[in-house]
Copies of this chain bind each other. A is one copy, B any other.
């Protein structure tokens, strides 16, 4: 499978390296970036890879069988539409869009293009391939501990990226949890409510951080999502599913424990790369293998991507109306 990657920033470079060195059956043949120098530098690291300075040329390139979109968020919908038009299998990084209307336009275009056939487009919700969340979902779904009643999902990072706003962090970061919780529960989100502390550090820098989202799902469960992008201490993902007679948590993915200076310590990753390297690898391997075998990849669908955008939009609406619950179906 010959893959072309749009965007050669942190995410695109990470995917390119993984596809090139660790995914069976994949060859990276093209990389595109509006910054042609960056595209060329990325291509130089992969024998035979071409560099492009625009997405459309890469999409149209006959050396490209499938496209991975890792460009800035605001380009995702448009580039996905171009891939659909070109009829090429596409893996689009989250989110599909910050706009519910745009996300649904992509879904419609996709439906028109593939009908009941194998989907062309998938969404990069890699947590669905993390061995921890996968095992957690397996145990919960087994029913051994009764039905789930609450999920507590926490996502913390060292620092928010440049230009983050109260709105973009929901569409860009919290969206992982907004996809994760209904996936774990196998039940769609019905309404959400947004809250945040009022401490000096969480309101002073122009960003409300941390914040808390309450999620209700169709199965009746009530879940909490805490997002804290500037937690400073590390990239720390936690998740517990509380069932009727048992609770299931993912555990920290450390490798060693060190006892020194009156403490025993285990490491916390600095960012998403060490934490989710395995999830990304498994996601990409499944995508490539499925395409190669002519079956539908077990990745999040474009519909999942559009639903997550809708849930995120509902959280933004709640944020703007003082924290009241907003129903997903009421989001335009």
Chain A residues engaging chain B, CB cutoff 8 angstroms? 20-24, 26, 131-132, 134-136, 139, 144-147, 149-150, 152, 156, 195-203, 210, 212, 214, 216, 219-222, 224, 226, 228, 231-234, 236, 242, 244-270, 278, 285, 289, 323, 325
Report Cα–Cα, A152/B153, bound state, in Å: 12
Contacts of A21 in B (CB 8 A): 24, 285, 289
Contacts of A250 in B (CB 8 A): 255-256
Q: List 17 A-B contacts (CB under 8 A).
A: A21-B24, A23-B24, A135-B255, A135-B256, A136-B255, A145-B258, A146-B201, A147-B199, A195-B214, A228-B242, A234-B259, A234-B261, A236-B247, A251-B266, A263-B267, A263-B268, A264-B266
A264 to chain B, nearest CB (A): 5
Contact of A210 with B246 in the complex, beta carbons under 8 Å:
no
Contacts of A257 in B (CB 8 A): 248-249, 251
Contacts of A268 in B (CB 8 A): 259, 262-264
If A24-B21, A255-B131, A266-B251 touch, does A210 touch B149 (CB 8 Å cutoff)?
A: yes
Report Cα–Cα, A292/B158, bound state, in Å: 38
Contact of B264 with A136 in the complex, beta carbons under 8 Å:
no
If A233-B261, A242-B210 touch, does A256 touch B132 (CB 8 Å cutoff)?
A: yes
Contact of B260 with A245 in the complex, beta carbons under 8 Å:
yes
Q: A144-B260, A247-B260, A252-B264 are in contact. List 18 more A-B contacts (CB 8 A).
A: A22-B285, A131-B255, A135-B256, A139-B258, A149-B201, A196-B222, A224-B224, A232-B245, A236-B247, A236-B259, A246-B259, A250-B256, A251-B255, A251-B256, A259-B268, A262-B267, A263-B268, A264-B268
Contact of A244 with B147 in the complex, beta carbons under 8 Å:
no
Contacts of A325 in B (CB 8 A): 323
Contact of A145 with B260 in the complex, beta carbons under 8 Å:
yes
